[in-house]
Amino acid sequence: MEEYLICVSCGYLEKKFAYQCSMCGGILYHAKERLLSAQAHVNISLGEGNIPLIPMLKSETTVGIKKLYVKCEFMNPTGSFKDRGMVTAIEKATELGIKKIIAASAGNAGAAAAAYGSRAGFPVSVIVPESTSPEKVRQAVEYGAKVISIKGNYSDSFQEAKELAKNPKWYNVTTTYINPYLWSGYENICYELVKERRNIHWIIVPIGAGPLLGALYHGFINLKTKGIIKTIPRLAGVQSIYCCPIVQAFSQNSTIVKEWNMTKNTIASGLNDELKGYTRDGEYTLSCIYASNGKATAVSDEEIIEARRIMGKEGLYVEPAAAAPVAAAKKMFENGSIKKEETVVVIATGSGLKSSPQKTERIMQMEHESAKRK
């Protein structure tokens, strides 16, 4: 099967592995001739992929949309969508003669890197912000990883991992756009969705830097090029009101994404990405949103908590970041962006079992306060 790395900015073809385009410094995309199939079978697979698409039975009443579906990515082996990319990236590491795996993480990516890296026989180090959920840290440790906690936010972890990966013995599987084999692994979601349901109007995705959304855009473009679908779904990216650099640019009809200075963390830790030092990632995600005639929107912690409660009553237990797309769907219906009869898919990215006791206590307190106001 033919494969290559191509720069999304200048189109240059890289003949060997690289983290960025050697001509312009742009993002590299791992392109290959794909079949309409689920996740590729590889030696270190843990059974990721083939994730169910679940209808929300009460969505017309709770959200306003009649046909709302949840792609349950929290059902992947380590409890998040990160497994889809990590299996392809680490499988490639075995071909490259890599000695060690490094990843910056807010939690989910670290667990996935630890699981697949350890399974492939690599020492794994994960760099996390000190605010990372203890459950996510413990998960990575149980898989055999060394976890390094640092002061600051996710962007600080990103810079530390990038610096270490300058040593060729290290292989960076941080889940921004930095590893082309990793982020293109998310594309398989598109193929599953098309097999499950062809006529999708909107797909709503929680985003930090946004490689999941970028991969979905590429996947649907590939399917359209092959004549398998006629139009691609509109892609909506969801951020927190406390950290929304991509949403801010979208609201200004701009193509320039600026670094965000967070003054408060959202309860959805996976959305706490200020893009410091890599705003180019945010700009590429934004370009995919524009190209799909999509939207970028921000939601509050209170809206996330309400959405999490709505999903719970459907039998779905997700972490806060995974509930953000349902919050966005409700908001987009209420402001007229989504029509009642349109088919909407939300990507539920991570399991609620990963939430820390402290965060759960805070959520319960906010739920109680919300109930009192009503």
Identify the pLDDT of residue 37: 47
**Residue 253: its pLDDT value, please?**
98
Together in a domain, 187 and 135: no
Whole-angstrom distance, CA of residue 20 vs CA of residue 179:
8
Residues 190 and 161 reside in one and the same domain: no
Percent of the chain with pLDDT over 70: 91
Residue listed under structure tokens 């990632």: 281
pLDDT at 369 over 70: no
Boundary residue ending a domain (179, 197, 218)? 179
In this predicted structure, what is the pLDDT of residue 365?
62
pLDDT at 309: 96
Please check whether residues 146 and 104 belong to one and the same domain: yes
Output phi, psi for 206, to 5 deg. Answer: -70, 140
Report the pLDDT value the prediction gives residue 1, as an integer from 0 to 100. Answer: 52
Alpha-carbon distance of 368 to 326, in angstroms, equals: 20
Q: Calculate the CA 132 to chain-centre distance.
A: 17
Q: Is residue 161 a contact partner of residue 105, using CB atoms and an 8 Å limit? A: no
What CATH number should be reported for the domain holding residue 121?
3.40.50.1100
More confident: 237 or 364: 237
pLDDT reported for residue 41:
47
Regarding whether 141 and 63 lie in a shared domain, the answer is no
Mean pLDDT to the nearest integer, 148-163: 90
- Are 203 and 340 contained in the same domain? yes
Does pLDDT of 225 surpass 70?
yes
**Three-state DSSP class for residue 290:** helix
What confidence tier does 155 reach under pLDDT thresholds 50, 70, 90?
confident
Q: Clarify whether residues 173 and 193 are in a common domain.
A: no
Question: Which of 123, 148, 179 is the C-terminal boundary of a domain?
Answer: 179
Confirm whether 330 is domain-assigned.
yes
The closest alpha carbon to 106, from 247, 265, 325, belongs to 265
State the distance between the two ends of the chain, measured CA to CA, in whole angstroms: 58
The band of 31, judged by pLDDT with boundaries at 50, 70 and 90, is confident
Question: Would 58 be classed as within a structural domain?
Answer: yes
Look-up: residue for tokens 């440790």? 141
Asked if residue 38 is part of any domain, the answer here is: no
Mean pLDDT of 288-306: 97
State residue 322's pLDDT score. 97
How much is the average pLDDT of 36-59? 82
Rounded Cα–Cα distance for residues 144 and 125 (Å) = 9
pLDDT at residue 38, rounded to an integer: 45
| Cα dihedral across residues 78, 80, 86, 87: positive or negative | positive
Cα dihedral sign for 151, 136, 192, 322?
negative
Task: Label the pairing between strands 124-129 and 146-150.
Answer: parallel
The answer to the question of residue 48 being in a domain is no
Quote the pLDDT of residue 187. 94
**Helix, strand, or coil (residue 349):** coil
Q: Among 123, 156, 179, which residue terminates a domain? A: 179
- Whether 193 and 137 share a structural domain: no
Q: Rounded CA gap, 308 and 249, in Å?
A: 27
Q: Which region holds residue 142: left if phi is over 0, alpha if psi is between -120 and 50, else beta?
A: alpha
Q: Residue 179 and residue 171: Cα distance in Å, rounded?
A: 9
pLDDT band at 34 (very low <50, low <70, confident <90, very high): low
Report yes or no on 345 lying in a domain: yes
**Are residues 352 and 231 located together in one domain of the fold?**
yes
**Structural domain includes residue 43:** no
In this structure, what token pair is assigned to residue 60?
């017309």
* Average of per-residue pLDDT values in the chain: 91
Residues 6+ apart with CB under 8 A from 41: none
- β-sheet with 234-240: strand ranges across: 53-55, 67-72, 343-348, 202-206, 234-240, 295-299
Instruction: Please report the pLDDT score of residue 354 as a whole number.
Output: 79
The residue that leads in pLDDT, 369 or 244, is 244
Q: How confident is the model at residue 217 (pLDDT cuts 50, 70, 90)?
A: very high
Model pTM score: 0.92
For residue 40, is it within any domain? no
- What number is the average pLDDT over the span 318-346? 97
152 and 187, same domain (yes or no)? no
Q: What residues contact 93, with CB distance under 8 A and at least 6 apart? A: 101, 117, 120, 122, 171, 173
| Whether pLDDT at 372 is above 70 | no
Q: Please check whether residues 6 and 140 belong to one and the same domain.
A: no
The torsion of the CA quartet 329, 335, 341, 346, rounded to 10 degrees, works out to -10
Q: Is 132 in the same domain as 197?
A: no
Instruction: Calculate ∠ Cα 23-25-29, nearest 5°.
Output: 95
Q: CB neighbours (10 Å) of residue 107?
A: 31
Range of the domain at 26: 1-33
Compute the distance between CA of residue 187 and CA of residue 37 in angstroms, rounded to an integer: 11
Banded model confidence at residue 261, pLDDT cuts 50, 70, 90: very high
Q: pLDDT grade, residue 3 (50/70/90)?
A: confident
pLDDT at 270: 87
Domain count of the fold of the chain:
3
Together in a domain, 219 and 365: yes
Q: Does some domain include residue 39? A: no
